[in-house]
Amino acid sequence: MTEIIVVTSGKGGVGKTTTSASLSCGLARRGKKVAVIDFDIGLRNLDLIMGCERRVVYDFVNVIQGECTLKQALIKDKRLETLFVLAASQTRDKDALTSEGVRRVFDELVADGFDYIVCDSPAGIEKGAHLAMYFADRAVVVVNPEVSSVRDSDRILGLLSSKTKRAENGGDKVREHLLLTRYSPKRVATGEMMSVGDVKEILGLDVVGVVPESADVLAASNAGTPVILNDGSDVSQAYQDAVSRLLGETVPLRFVDEPKKGFFARVFGG
């Protein structure tokens, strides 16, 4: 059984691509065969985050337009045996992506025995975002604990429940999960940032992960190594927990509470 997961958010810059890269790596590390696809036609970026930008010869649109085979376009990850990247096209216009074309590519991945297809959605609610979510079985909604991001994700939830294949067929809904990024337990403790509980309550979603704010994310993107592979970091462990939850395991939330400060640190600042 192939499961199609869309990583989406509405708002830009909240960590969709970082999340797509890390979840894909995490699933592949757990022995799953994974294809991660960049749906941001015209603004390709997943290849950079995955560190395979110099190996892109053919892209998603080339496959859809029959200019190459899917096998030629899939870039095999150098670190993980069972992970493949399909880059977005940089040059063509968005209309090159068609629902029929996307379906053909997915059918072929299913026939090839992929366990997961991870769709990295572009920001916004235009065609690319629509096609990224259309065939999804599950959605990981990436949210920053900040008003505009939360509101935009609610728009996306509306689209997931009306403009997807599952919604149109009237069968089981797309399973929706909340993944909070750039979370700062310290600012939550001082009342400057909404908590996991707040966002969860507003959106009415189950939490698949909480990723703390960290300099490691930028360091990872600088290096082209998905941050989940930086095993020592909190961010990596938070993403590994999210992968476990996607696989149906129950794992307690970590990195959501501020480490307790001693008396002197509190009085004299620290």
Which residue ranges make up the site for another protein (CB under 8 A)?
145-147, 150-151, 154-155, 158, 188, 190-195, 198, 202-203, 266-269
* Distance in Å, CB of 211 to another protein, minimum: 18
* Distance in Å, CB of 194 to another protein, minimum: 5
Helix (H) and strand (E) counts in the chain? 13, 8
* Distance in Å, CB of 257 to another protein, minimum: 15
Cβ atoms of residues 137 and 176 within 8 Å = no
Q: Judged by CB, which is closer to another protein: 66, or 270?
A: 270
Q: Judged by CB, which is closer to another protein: 92, or 200?
A: 200
Cβ atoms of residues 180 and 144 within 8 Å = yes
* Distance in Å, CB of 152 to another protein, minimum: 11
- 3-state DSSP call for residue 170? coil
Q: How far is CA 74 from each of CA 109, 153, 214, rounded to the nearest angstrom?
A: 10, 30, 31
Q: E strands of the chain, at which residues?
A: 3-8, 34-38, 75-76, 83-86, 116-120, 138-143, 175-183, 206-212
Q: Judged by CB, which is closer to another protein: 60, or 255?
A: 255
* Distance in Å, CB of 120 to another protein, minimum: 25
* Distance in Å, CB of 148 to another protein, minimum: 10
How far apart CA 180 and CA 210 sit, in angstroms, is 5
Report phi then psi at 17, rounded to 5. Answer: -70, -40
Q: Judged by CB, which is closer to another protein: 147, or 223?
A: 147
Q: Judged by CB, which is closer to another protein: 96, or 167?
A: 167
- 3-state DSSP call for residue 141? strand
For tokens 């001082």, what's the residue?
190
Q: Judged by CB, which is closer to another protein: 80, or 143?
A: 143
